[in-house]
Amino acid sequence: MPFPFTLPTTSSLSFPDFYTSATHPSLPLSATTHRGVLRDILKKHKRLPPASQPSNLFSVLSALNAYIPYLFALDAGLGGRSIAGEEVDVVLVRDLEVEWRPTLSASLPGREASRVKLKSLESELCFVLLCAAEVHALLARSQLYTLYNATMPTTEQRVTAIAAAMRHFLDANAVCGYLVSRVQQWATPSGAVDISVPVLSALGELTIAEATLITVLKDDPYPGVVLEDRNKQSKDWMFKSVDIPKVRAHLFARLCLSAAEHAAKAQAMLSSAGKVDEGLVRYVDDLRRTARGKACRFLGIDAELAGKTGEGIAWVRGARRELGFQSIGKEEEKKGSAFSKLKKDWAEKREDRKVEKGGDWGTDGGKFEEGRVLEMLERKWVKMNDTVGVQLIPPSEPLLASMPSGREYHTPKPYITPGLDEDVISRMRAPPDPSDSGFKGDEDDSNDEDEQKSSPVGAFPGTKGEYSGGTTYY
């Protein structure tokens, strides 16, 4: 976790073809220049290998932050609103036409979704802001990656990474909340699933669920214990046992239940949105399961700390059921075959390789990692219960039915629309240079490369992707 969003790409656009301003003639051209920079960076970002993309996210965010104020300036000028105390007049020449490639819409396996043609400044603004929200979510993902890779972070590094990830999640949530309120005012929908109300609302719920879960992660020692246990470079086990501090178990359980409720809302919204990327739908469901599993685990820890080991085991087994895993009972351990153990070890190694490569790790919403924690606790508590104080293990179903309500932790903050500085606005009173057509970038505007990547190798001359003796790129 979080979800590995793919950033959208877009076609070229020249605002002077669609807008003109008598008060600030350079505004459309300046907006075109900053948009050209963003388009160029998005195309280059898409071609980077997955391991190199996280380090390029700040460049994408910088380009977005530079372009977005110009979009709001054009929007204010069309609406007759002042900017930085100046009256800005923007006149529509003809309907804006632009294309964006959606990344949250469902598409055929191995193929990208086709570009969507949009015909309004509103749609352009929404796609750009959605891209900004996704960049914030990916930055949070890159921060959390430091907690799961091979190098064990220090306590200070862990706190810093979690705090930075939380800020990015809340920033993404603020953008999604603003987009929902804006799109709800449209008379007719744009036709793009990515910027529809259900999808934007689902992303808002998803980001607040993620922010709530990492609030718990900050003080949850058990994932670190599992990470320490499988860290081949660690030698601490030779001279000391892992210190597991006590946690505020009941409070953490309610926070996890709140995250599960937000994820459930996101899941319901995505189901009503139409054709949405199946990977995102699965991720939201897995995150909901993980949050409920964590809540059960903390309630089990609370029971075990109170001396109710049998009830704690029941909670842990209920948590594994929430995740969709089988419980580790005595009967299962006795009849467990070598093949099942080999299959489990292979699954763990595959997940570890995903973390090492930094690609699609965590696409299960943390479900697999939580399963490891639950397995460790169940084995430990069952052994204690069998040897020290034998207690009856109650069924899990009544406990799951008696779970408390969730407790909110974050208050969503409003999105503050960025504006241009006074000196920038004043400079745009000057007419543009007739020879200046705006930044074009190094990337062409064709779909050829994208189609070639997503098209199979043709068997006959004239088909896309045909083999002609050279190198075919995908």
Sequential DSSP letters for 170-235: HHHHHHHHHHHHHHTT-SS--S-GGGSHHHHHHHHHHHHHHHHHHHHHTT--HHHHHHHHH-TT--
Residue 212 Ramachandran class (φ > 0 left, ψ -120 to 50 alpha, else beta): alpha
The third-level CATH classification (topology) of the domain covering 246-328+339-402 is 1.25.40
Residue 441 has pLDDT above 70, yes or no: no
CA proximity to 403, closest of 192, 256, 272, 268: 256
Residue 351 has pLDDT above 80, yes or no: no
- The pair of structure tokens assigned to 372 is 């490891």
**432-459 average pLDDT score:** 54
**412-427 average pLDDT score:** 92
* Dihedral, 319, 385, 344, 331 alpha carbons, nearest 10: -100
pLDDT of residue 403: 93
pLDDT of residue 409: 92
Residue 130 has pLDDT above 60, yes or no: yes
Q: Whole-model pTM?
A: 0.86
Q: Where are the domains of the chain?
A: 1-103+115-218+414-433, 246-328+339-402
3-state secondary structure of 80: coil
Between CA 185 and CA 375 the distance in angstroms is 49
Of 254-258, 325-329, 412-416, the range with the lowest mean pLDDT is 325-329
pLDDT of residue 198: 94
* Contact indicator for 78, 90 with CB cutoff of 8 Å: yes
pLDDT of residue 30: 94
pLDDT confidence bin for 450, thresholds 50/70/90: very low
Residue 463 has pLDDT above 50, yes or no: no
pLDDT of residue 470: 40
Q: pLDDT tens-digit profile of 115-129? A: 999 999 999 999 999
Q: pLDDT tens-digit profile of 59-95? A: 999 999 999 999 999 999 999 888 888 889 999 999 9
Between CA 400 and CA 147 the distance in angstroms is 30
Handedness of CA 281, 285, 286, 290 (dihedral sign): positive
pLDDT confidence bin for 232, thresholds 50/70/90: low
Q: pLDDT tens-digit profile of 168-223? A: 999 999 999 999 999 999 888 777 899 999 999 999 999 999 999 999 988 888 87
Same topology, domains 1-103+115-218+414-433 and 246-328+339-402? Answer is yes
Q: pLDDT tens-digit profile of 315-324? A: 999 999 999 8
Residue 236 has pLDDT above 50, yes or no: no
Residue 45 has pLDDT above 60, yes or no: yes
Q: Could you tell me how far CA 289 lies from the centroid of its own chain?
A: 17
pLDDT of residue 240: 41
Question: What CATH class does 1-103+115-218+414-433 carry?
Answer: mainly alpha
Of 289-303, 376-390, 414-428, the range with the lowest mean pLDDT is 376-390
pLDDT of residue 349: 64
Between CA 449 and CA 465 the distance in angstroms is 10
Residue 244 has pLDDT above 60, yes or no: no
Residue 464 has pLDDT above 60, yes or no: no
pLDDT of residue 344: 56
3-state secondary structure of 134: helix
pLDDT of residue 301: 92
